[in-house]
Amino acid sequence: MQKDSILNIILVGIGLCTICGAVISTVAVSLKDQQEQNVIFDQQSKIIDAARLLEFYPSSIEALESIKEVIVDLNDGQPSDYPSDQYDLDTILRDSSQHKVLNGADDIAMISVRENISKVFIEYRNNEFKTLILPVRGYGLWGTLYGYLALDSDLNTIVGLEFYKHKETPGLGAEVDNPNWKKLWNGKKVYDENGLVQIEVIKGFSNPGSEEYSYEVDGLSGATITSKGVSNLLAFWLGDEGFGPFINNLKNKEIKLSDV
Ligand SMILES: Cc1cc2nc3c(=O)[nH]c(=O)nc-3n(C[C@H](O)[C@H](O)[C@H](O)COP(=O)(O)O)c2cc1C
């Protein structure tokens, strides 16, 4: 066969495509575990950051060792004996027997479905409960923001809020990742004296002299929709359909942390 014949060109083309395809598939498959591991590491680092654990532990290893994973039944706010190492949110969200479909006014975070069980993280410092870290998510402008909210042991004061995945615009909604904005959350209160969720990202700047100051975080400039999304997702996950029952059970000592 002649080297520059049409048939030869086609055969060489097909051969090259097959080899390249095989190489790319092999690399993709062999890196899959590594990619999944990286996602887990990233989430762990956000948990550590939300709870500001590196201010108290020499390294991430010690910080992670201080954390216990607890599976919570969101319907009654009680700990579940579901094995924490088998928990997979994606599977739960696909399985209608393991989640609740949210409608209209119930779906303020615009997540459509809410898992029946959730994995939360509890940090014990010097053997005492110190921080509760809750997974939160909700729709911004372009997609769902996924993150962690860390509450101090009074179950009302925010330690930090970190997002590990979102599709918001750099310079606008993606300013949720700006360290200066994230600092504003530390010390803010979530519930008022009647137990109602009050924490909110407002439009503009919160006035330090106002009564609402402890419940307000400055809005993201030019990103009111993302800001509102963050307020909504916090209202949802701190409310009755989210972790509200669990938090109340902890506050009322109906769950002893030593039992979970
Ligand atoms: C290309 C583009 C990207 C945008 N990205 C965001 C975003 O990530 N989050 C957001 O809230 N608003 C975003 N906006 C702006 C919104 O459309 C809307 O104008 C804004 O949320 C209103 O906020 P403001 O009242 O603070 O100006 C974007 C606008 C454009 C044109």
Judged against a pLDDT cut of 80, whether residue 13 lies above it is answered with yes
How far apart are the CA of 144 and the centre of ligand 1, in A? Answer: 15
145 lines ligand 1 (CB under 6 A): no
What span, in angstroms and rounded, lies between the C-alpha atoms of 201 and 175? 13
Quote the ligand 1 centre to 200 CA distance (angstroms): 18
* Residue nearest (by alpha carbon) to ligand 1 atom 10: 223
Q: What is the C-alpha separation between 10 and 237, in angstroms, rounded?
A: 58
For 131-187, the three-class secondary structure string (H helix, E strand, C coil) is EEEEEEEEECCCCEEEEEEEEECCCCEEEEEEEEECCCCCCCHHHHHCHHHHHCCCC
In short, whether 160's Cβ falls inside 6 Å of ligand 1 is: no
Whether ligand 1 lies within 6 angstroms of the CB of 143 is answered as no
Indicate the top mutation candidate among 221, 225, 231 to test ligand 1's pocket, ranked by most ligand atoms within 8 A of CB: 225
Residue 222 in contact with ligand 1 by CB distance below 6 A: yes
Classify the phi-psi angles of 115: left when phi > 0, otherwise alpha if psi is within -120 to 50, otherwise beta. beta
Question: Per residue in 132-174, pLDDT tens?
Answer: 999 999 999 999 999 999 999 999 999 999 999 999 999 999 9
Side-chain-facing half-sphere of 64: CA atoms under 13 Å: 10
Ligand 1 test: best mutation among 141, 175, 226, 230, most atoms within 8 Å of CB?
A: 141
Which comes out higher in pLDDT, residue 104 or 130?
130
**Mean pLDDT value of segment 183-202:** 97
| Exposure b/e, 74-98, CB count within 10 A at least 16 = b | beebebbeeeeeebebeebeeeeeb
Of the two residues 253 and 94, the one the predictor is more confident about is 94
pTM for the structure as a whole = 0.90
- Inform me whether the pLDDT recorded for 252 exceeds 70: yes
- The helix/strand/coil state of 98 is helix
Confidence of residue 38 (pLDDT cuts 50, 70, 90): confident
Range of weakest confidence among 8-22, 49-63, 158-172, 238-252: 8-22
Query: Residue 44's pLDDT band (boundaries 50, 70, 90)?
Result: very high
200 membership: H or E segment, kind and range: strand 200-201
Ligand 1 pocket, residue 53 CB under 6 Å: no
- Give the separation between CA 81 and CA 205, rounded to whole angstroms: 44
**Tokens matching residue 228:** 């509102």
Q: Is residue 168 in contact with ligand 1, taking CB distance under 6 Å? A: yes
Cα–Cα distances in Å, from 153 out to 12, 69, 257?
67, 16, 11
Looking at residue 144, what is its pLDDT?
98
Q: Mean pLDDT of all residues in the chain?
A: 94
Query: What average pLDDT score do residues 60-70 get?
Result: 95
Query: Which residue's CA is minimally distant from atom 30 of ligand 1?
Result: 169
CA 226 to centroid of ligand 1, rounded, Å? 8
Torsional class of 102: left (φ above 0), alpha (ψ -120 to 50), beta (otherwise):
beta
Determine the number of helices (DSSP H) and then strands (DSSP E) in the chain: 6, 10
Give pLDDT tens digits for 193-239.
Answer: 999 999 999 999 999 999 999 999 999 999 999 999 999 999 999 99
Task: Determine the atom of ligand 1 nearest the C-alpha atom of 227.
Answer: 11
Neighbouring CB atoms inside 10 A of 159's CB total 23
Does residue 260 carry a pLDDT above 80? no
pLDDT score recorded for residue 95: 96
Contact 218, 187 (CB under 8 A): no
Query: Tens of pLDDT along 66-123?
Result: 999 999 999 999 999 999 999 999 999 999 999 999 998 899 999 999 999 999 999 9
Rounded to the nearest 5 degrees, what angle is found at the Cα of 51, between the Cα atoms of 36 and 227? Answer: 85
